[in-house]
Amino acid sequence: MGAPLIGARVERKEDYRFLTGAGQYTDDVELPRQSYAVFVRSPHAHAILKKISLDQARKAPGFIAAYTGEDFAAAKLGGLPCGWLITDVNGQPMKEPPHPCLAQGKVRHVGDQVAIVIAETSAQARDAAELVAVDYKVLPAVVDGAKARAKGAPQLHDIAPDNTCYVWAIGDKAVADAAFAKAAHVTKLEFINNRLIPNAMEPRVANGAYSRADDSYTLYVASQNPHVERLLMTAFVMGLPEHKVRVVAGDVGGGFGSKIYLYAEDVAVTWAAKQVNRPVKWTSDRSEAFLTDAHGRDHHTVAELAMDKDGKFLAMRVKTTANVGAYLSTFASCVPTILYATLLAGQYKTPVIHCEVTAVFTNTTPVDAYRGAGRPEATYVVERLVETAAREMKLDPAEIRRRNFITEFPYQTPVALQYDIGDYNATMDAAQQLADVAGFSKRKEESVKKGKLRGLGYAAYIEACGIAPSAVAGSLGARAGLFEAGEVRVHPTGSVTVFTGSHSHGQGHETTFAQVVADRLGIGIDSVDIVHGDTSKVLFGMGTYGSRSIAVGGTAIVKALDKIVAKGKKIAAHLLEAAETDVVYDRGIYKVAGTDKQKTFGEVAFAAYVPHNYPHDKLEPGLNENAFYDPANFTFPAGTYVCEVEVDPETGVVKIDKFTAVDDFGKIINPMIVEGQVHGGLTQGIGQALTESCQYDATGQLLTGSFMDYCLPRATDVPFYQVDTRETPCTHNPLGVKGCGEAGAIGAPAALMNAITDALGVKDMPMPATPQAVWKVLNNKQAA
């Protein structure tokens, strides 16, 4: 066969359908006798539900049914579970208040579900829902995580005194304190990692169906992990056997974390489908998405870095309050702990790290993993500290990093992780060159001539991806395994269908995974199709998040491919009348070493399905294998980002002049797709730093509840990016891959804020650096 496919810029197999309008997103699924649901939601951030009256709604045209929390309680539907148990500093389990699908007696954030109304059309459902009369007794609300534990703050949950979910810590505080006492210099920062609203372009959709014929359910849902969705819904909420529930997540229009979770609406439409004996579809509008999709970030942090006189890092202390919102979303508890504090070593040999995290409930939308999930927050802490330290110690910011880079691997950090491999000087070197750091001072002079301010900032990030070794995750509190599954089905004529438990919602698995399969089997990529997103087709899966697809899902497929090749070898040996040990497989052909005897992959596949001449005494017919792969370790993508900005001091407008990203993702399967992932991640990171911020007023009303108020980056907000890669192959998976989906969002905010603070000549600058915020900081500086 032709050139190797691993490493090739192959155009995407999925694009034709997306470009011609033939994608099948969940809202495009219309079932026979379809009905439509609308949720009645709380307009208050905190209130007691005194009375819900459905009388008027029942009279509305097209009304089919309506249910409230009372109906759900009577049906013994459980609350939504949290998938990760955090044990606090006193050895106690975190507080897990009930998270009802429909409110039970109380609402705790604007948008909290109060009732589901089902009608013949979506417009009729909306009309009927408006006729549901709810009598609320409004309570005072607490919104700001930093104020949630204050004396007299409104209390959300009886079982969580002081609105505290947990106080958790990692590292030895006494040792850290001792190192700080000896430090020549300490850099300290206090900042907020702003709350973000994910905003995948496709809003969430759930369409539940029930069949009396076999007492089974089907849920079509915009999800990143259909098997996880099914497991959580059946085992923890509805008490249904899994074999009676099929979950289908077809084409999904972006996720970024927000479609990992089991949401109340998913359960409600599935349960209601049986009650009304018709399919029930709910399609979120954007306003609902702002109010109910799990948000991201929202940390308040004080961080300190201790150094010796040469800028060598001695210790780090971090104290963070994480606002988890009104309830614990599916993975909310592990994001500000396991996925955050364990990354605080960054790329550096900091010997001692102590981090304490307090997670608090507030009257806001639940917060969970959003692209990067904990790792952008950690990178922001480390890289803002390091850059600030360099400025305070009058060291070059690249030089202080180089003095502290980890250079020997494997490296055991003081915060649990063991990095397998990396070359941080290599990505730093490449980034400095590509960004033309040497020419910065000249460009700065030119900016000054124009009356502009110019700044340059670095971020040398690391992330833990390929989530996750199940035993390690389990010991840290995970309530699920985090392996992946794959199946390779070779058809009689030699074409191949591969089923993966990973899920693509923009990442291009149908192409990347097909490249891996075609390359390793030595067959044409057009002979390979990838199937994902349907529990009735795919054997099992944990889905896609944490940049895990290629490292974990791809490896599961490789393991299954190895079994296919091995069985094929036995068949070929029989056909070629040779010893199995003499048969080699070379890019689509089984050959007997040292002879011209050979059989193609297709011939072997045919023999497996038309087994007239076949070793029946030793082998089963057919050519179909599956594999489960549980990773030995996390993977550790890392890189250096360099951002250069020009600021107009008159207006406070920040222009990103250059953004350079050099990443080490290990082996790369499709550079075109990888670059696209980096571009998208960078833009979300730039969004956090420059334009996006979720804002509530003091009563808990969301002020940024539409694209008119919440500023998603537009095309004019971002530049063309300069991206490149360096490669240290992952040591513990057969492809040598690490994952690339989140890097951009992890590294970009710190690089951008380091550049802006450099330009402004200030230490602190809150995110997002909107023109108004920048202008204020500049004016305060001048006034001071």
Partner 1 sequence: MAVKVSLKVNGKSVVAEVEERTLLVTVIREHLRLTGTHVGCDTAQCGACTVSMNGRAVKSCSMLAMQAEGTEVMTIEGVAHADGTLHPMQAAFKEHHGLQCGFCTPGMVINAIDFAKHHPDPSEQEIREALEGNLCRCTGYHNIVKAIGAGARAMAASK
Binding site residues, partner 1, CB under 8 A: 11-12, 14-25, 27-28, 30, 123, 199-203, 251-254, 256, 285-287, 505-508, 672-673, 675-676, 679-684, 706-708, 712-716, 718, 720-721, 744
| Token pair for 191 | 């900042």
Nearer Cβ to partner 1, position 253 or 279? 253
From the CB of 645, what's the least distance to partner 1, in Å?
17
Q: Classify residue 508 by burial, with Cβ atoms within 10 Å: 0-12, 13-18, 19+.
A: buried
Task: Please give the single-letter amino acid code of residue 369.
Answer: A
Output the smallest distance, CB 29 to partner 1, in A.
Answer: 9
Burial 676-695 (b: 16+ CB within 10 A, else e): bbbbbbbbbbbbbbbbbbbe
State the minimum distance, in angstroms, from the CB of residue 293 to partner 1.
12
Q: Which residues, including other chains, have CB under 8 Å from residue 236's CB and lie 6 or more apart? A: 78, 80, 81
Closer to partner 1 by Cβ: residue 253 or 652: 253
Least Cβ distance, residue 682 to partner 1 (angstroms): 6
Query: Closest approach of Cβ 230 to partner 1, in Å?
Result: 22
- Provide the pairing of β-strand 583-586 with 722-725: unpaired
Q: Indicate the residue among 88 and 742 with the shorter CB distance to partner 1.
A: 742
Which is nearer to partner 1, 286 or 563 (by Cβ)? 286
**Which among 545, 551, 489, 536 has a CA at the least distance from the CA of 227?**
536
Q: Which is nearer to partner 1, 171 or 508 (CB)?
A: 508
Kindly tell me which of 224 and 728 has the beta carbon lying closer to partner 1. Answer: 224
Q: Which residue has the tokens 């192409």?
A: 511
CB of 285 to partner 1, least distance (A): 5
Q: How far is the CB of 661 from partner 1 (least distance, A)?
A: 11
Give the strand pairing for 453-462 and 484-490.
unpaired
For the chain, what's the residue count?
Answer: 784
Q: What is the Cα–Cα distance from 599 to 569, expressed in whole angstroms?
A: 10
Please choose, from the candidates 756, 768, 769, the residue with its C-alpha nearest in 3D space to the C-alpha of residue 695: 768
54 φ, ψ (degrees, to nearest 5): -100, 0
Query: Which lies closer to partner 1 via its Cβ, residue 507 or residue 693?
Result: 507
The least distance separating partner 1 from the CB of residue 5, rounded to whole angstroms, comes to: 16
Nearer to partner 1, 52 or 743 (CB): 743
How many Cβ atoms are within 10 Å of 62's Cβ, its own excluded?
Answer: 16
In whole angstroms, give the CA distance from residue 367 to residue 377: 14
The upper half-sphere exposure of residue 408, i.e. CA atoms within 13 Å in the direction of its Cβ, equals: 2
Closest approach of partner 1 to the CB of residue 706, in Å = 5
Largest CA distance in the chain: 90
Q: Which one, 146 or 712, has the nearer CB to partner 1?
A: 712
Which CB, 23 or 481, lies closer to partner 1?
A: 23
Using a 10 angstrom Cβ sphere, with 0-12 exposed, 13-18 middle and 19 or more buried, the burial of residue 215 is exposed
The owner of tokens 């899920």 is 503
DSSP code string of 183-228: -SEEEEEEEEE--B----SSPPEEEEEEETTTTEEEEEE--S-HHH
Q: How far is the CB of 720 from partner 1 (least distance, A)?
A: 6
What gap in Å lies between CA 668 and CA 528, rounded to an integer? 19
